[in-house]
Amino acid sequence: MAAYGLYTHIAANKTRSTVLLASLFLLVYVIVYAGALIIEVLNNGDATFNYYLRAALFDVIRTLPWSTGAAILWIVIAYFFHQKMIDAVTGSDGVTRKEQPRLYNLLENLCISRGITMPKLKVMESDALNAFSTGMNDKQYSITVTTGLLNLLNDAELESVLGHELTHIRNGDVRMMVIAVIIAGVISFFAELVFRLWFYTGFGGSSRSDRRSGGGAGLAILIAVGLLVIAYVLSFVIRLALSRQREYLADAGSVELTQNPDAMISALRKIEGRGELPGATSAVMELCVDNPREGFGELFDTHPTVENRVAALVKYAGGHDPGPISLPTEQTQADDETDTPPQSGPWSAADDGQDSAAPAPSEGPAPTGQSGPWGPHGT
């Protein structure tokens, strides 16, 4: 279905995201099937290839309640504790109006203007310029900003960043991304479990069983490993597909909230390349306004480039691009490096521009012998 306008794009993106999320959950069973293939080879090393395929499928169906229950239990645990885990990784602390009146008032005004439940506010001590939102429901939603962002963005730019994160919450992006990260964690866990099972238990005996089964065991192992790799790569690609389009929509949503496309553009220009959060996992960086960590070219980047996002705001929201922005702290450092006077010493010129180490020119004939860096050598 073609999408026209911001809200139909949001609705279409939600439908597409639901399909992608369901596909991500199905990858859990692909991992389980790969594990079942390896277990069947270990337990029945002299069977045929067709037997392994059928037996593994039967094992998946038989253990379906257990594998589904384990995945759901993982999601439930993360549902209640993911915020604490993120806070522990980033060192974020909740703040009140008294502690951060400027930040609090900007977010409150945005929420009041649209009748939105105000999320919690958190601040992370970091010179990086970034922000992210987390949570699974109205009681959990929170927006975290860095102290670097607070110090270097003006009110209009900071309001635009808050509007960006608030749009992620309004559109259900935060809940979707948190669930996607959790399911991807389940896939990674099962994939690592299966690999360990293969390497530490069955890798050494697979060749012997393969000879007895006429090559069936080796082929089954090969398929299992292929499924593990495919599932792991697809889980990452699906997360990228969930993330990229949402950033464009969140930028547009921020402009719709603030009616100020230029502020969103200048905020992105200031954040550009300065958002690396020290110690943050890749899952946390995927939730941020900008993720400076690059993939293979742009193929595996979790966010569109700032250039593309700014170009979209200029084209569709009528904003003006000032180009890359140099921050005051960076300009001061550059000036300090430029204005540093040359140090006087045995290897450099004196302050008056004369070479103090050079001997006075002699009035007589030059002495005979070879000349060197320390003066003439007599014969």
Residue of 145, 169, 135 lying closest to 250 (CA atoms)? 169
Q: Do 120 and 143 form a contact (C-beta atoms < 8 A)?
A: yes
Q: Do 120 and 95 form a contact (C-beta atoms < 8 A)?
A: no
> Which contiguous run of DSSP H or E holds residue 226?
helix 216-258
Task: Please confirm, yes or no, whether 165 is among the known catalytic residues.
Answer: yes
Q: Going by C-beta distance under 8 Å and a sequence separation of 6 or more, which residues neighbour residue 356?
A: 344, 349, 350
Q: Please report where in the chains the tokens 């927006």 appear, as a residue.
A: 143
Residue of 362, 61, 26, 33 lying closest to 227 (CA atoms)? 33
Catalytic residue among 165, 247, 272, 286: 165
Residue of 102, 114, 145 lying closest to 127 (CA atoms)? 145
Q: Do 270 and 276 form a contact (C-beta atoms < 8 A)?
A: no
CA torsion sign, 243 to 248 to 254 to 260? positive
Backbone torsions φ then ψ of 8, nearest 5 degrees: -70, -30
The Cα–Cα gap between 325 and 307 comes to 13
Which residues are the active-site residues? Answer: 165
